[in-house]
Amino acid sequence: MLALCLAALIIFIPANLLPVLEIHFLGSIRTTTVVEAAVAVWAQGYWVVGLAVLVAAVIAPAVLILSILAQVMIVKLKLNRTFWQRVYTTLLKNQGLIAQMTMLEIYVISFLVSAFQLSDFSDVYFGMGTFSFTMLFVIILFLQREYNLEHMWSYVDEH
């Protein structure tokens, strides 16, 4: 899980900062990142949708990765002090909520749908952000598959 957390952290940065789609329309070239898209939707008055995209595609995945990384580090480094045990139990209690807020698969599908819809009247190219975002989705999928909440709670029972 540690390796998956580190891989997710590494790919998280380009997934959110590199262009996801590049659209060529009548000589104009437009590119956008996930964060720029959320801000643009917010600026157009759809702040609820913009906030939902920002939380589900950027903030929640970051919190999920950092939460699992912190849990793994607390267990691996055998941090048994009261402070670390409180942090650990708080992270475990909130793990389900954080995992449910992470919805990267919806955005990977939306990239594909957008490209298909726009391809009739413009040239659409996937950027490295699309590849990075898709890889982030796959890494988090495997990370959540390997994560076992009951096993992580057993560490609390031991100490």
Q: 34-48 pLDDT, tens per residue? A: 888 889 889 999 899
Q: For residue 147, what pLDDT band results from cuts at 50, 70 and 90?
A: very high
pLDDT value of residue 111: 66
pTM for the whole structure: 0.85
Q: 46-77 pLDDT, tens per residue? A: 899 889 888 988 999 999 999 999 999 999 99
Residue spans of the domains in the chain: they are 2-158
Six token digits for residue 152 = 């992580």
Burial (Cβ within 10 Å: 0-12, 13-18, ≥19) of residue 11:
buried
Let me know: does 129 contact 19? Beta carbons within 8 Å.
Answer: yes
Whole-angstrom CA distances from 111 to 66, 95, 127, 139 are: 25, 27, 11, 18
Rounded Cα gap, residues 149 and 96, in angstroms: 9
Report the pLDDT averaged over residues 136-155.
91
Q: For residue 28, what pLDDT band results from cuts at 50, 70 and 90?
A: confident
Q: 74-114 pLDDT, tens per residue? A: 999 998 899 999 999 999 999 999 988 887 777 777 767 77
* Sequence letter at residue 27: G
Burial (Cβ within 10 Å: 0-12, 13-18, ≥19) of residue 82:
exposed
3-class secondary-structure state, position 79: coil
